[in-house]
Amino acid sequence: MQCMLVTGASGFVGQHLLSALQQTWPTAQLHATTSQVASAQRRGLASPCGAVQWHALDVRDAASVTRLMKSTQPDAVIHLAAQSHVPTSFQRARYTWDVNLIGTLNVIESIKQACPKALLLNVGSSDMYGAAFRSGQKVTEATAFQPLNPYAASKASADLAVGQCAASDQLRAIRARPFNHTGPGQTDAFVLASFATQIALIESGQQPPVLQTGDLTAERDFLDVHDVCQAYIALLQLPANQQNGQAYNIASGRAVAIGELLKQLLSMSSVAIEHRLDPSRQRPSDIPTVQASTDAIQAATSWQPSIGQEAMLHRLLEECRQRQRQAP
């Protein structure tokens, strides 16, 4: 790889992915996009960092996407830009569809026009499978999508669009379908980061020793963000005959109850903490258990998760603690 473009790179995963890409391809030119350069600059993300060049981009603006593709001429495009918060997708459904589906269509069309030899790694979501998880079986890449919220539906549509263009328009593409992931830098809008943030606040005396939670019985498959980024890198290295729209689940293959993960986090705390159910944290259309088959990615690549559950939670909690220590 000589040149790569990462959309939505100032988000949680993007920050980790840029570092991983630099380590894997140290001489490659990296271009990264964010919808809010000023905000990224305040957080120190859009400052010069090795070979990374930052660009302001709204993926809903087709002309802007095409101009960027023409000027950068990437060998690979990793498409992360998305509205990924499920509650927000109910509140702002049209915006979610515009970013997630129209934005992806703009990326596809701009690649076809400006850099048709580029590889597109499209990042979807396990949420696309939706009601299919109710079967109690591990979903495979052949499992039909049954989305249960606007975020999942828009991501499923984008995934199908990439697959169709790879099949009929000669688009070089790979479809990644990551399951839940967490790690340093994730916002407290997501469940494990919310737990870790609350623990850090309690330990620092900024919150009473009561942790608010939603339903703890749901079982989910979590990975550390580091392992997800390594999976993306493994997929980018696949040979040309495996760049025809193939889809890959990215998961540990093991579902764990949210309550068990909370128990582990609480055991890492230096203080006694009570937890209470908060009805406002319940998610509409939730499902009991999420399970994934990872046979496809393991057959195609040498990727395996390298960070265990305890280490994943420890990394998350330590970063939240550090953030509280550095807060003014």
Task: Tell me the two tokens of residue 190.
Answer: 């997501």
Q: Are 256 and 296 in contact (CB under 8 A)?
A: no
Which amino acid is it at 91?
Q
Report pLDDT for 131.
Answer: 96
Domain ranges of the chain: 3-181+223-250, 183-220+254-290+307-326
Per-residue pLDDT tens over the stretch 2-35: 999 999 999 999 999 999 999 999 999 999 999 8
Report pLDDT for 42.
Answer: 39
Report pLDDT for 41.
Answer: 44
Residue 31, classed as helix, strand or coil, is strand
Per-residue pLDDT tens over the stretch 160-218: 999 999 999 999 999 999 999 999 999 998 999 999 999 999 999 999 999 988 888 99
Report pLDDT for 40.
Answer: 47
pLDDT < 70 regions, the chain: 37-50, 281-285, 328
Report pLDDT for 327.
Answer: 75
- State the CATH class of domain 183-220+254-290+307-326: alpha beta
For the chain, where are the E strands, in sequence order? 3-7, 29-34, 52-56, 76-79, 119-123, 172-178, 181-182, 210-213, 219-220, 223-224, 244-250, 256-257, 274-277
Report pLDDT for 132.
Answer: 97
- State the CATH class of domain 3-181+223-250: alpha beta
Task: Tell me the two tokens of residue 54.
Answer: 């930052």
Q: Which residues of 216-225 are buried (b: 16+ CB within 10 A; e: fewer)?
A: eebbbbbbbb
**DSSP-assigned letter for residue 27:** T
In this chain, the answer to whether the domains covering 3-181+223-250 and 183-220+254-290+307-326 adopt an identical fold is no
Report pLDDT for 50.
Answer: 55
Helices (H) and strands (E) in the chain, counts: 12, 13
Report pLDDT for 282.
Answer: 64
Q: Are 120 and 111 in contact (CB under 8 A)?
A: yes
* pTM metric for this prediction: 0.93
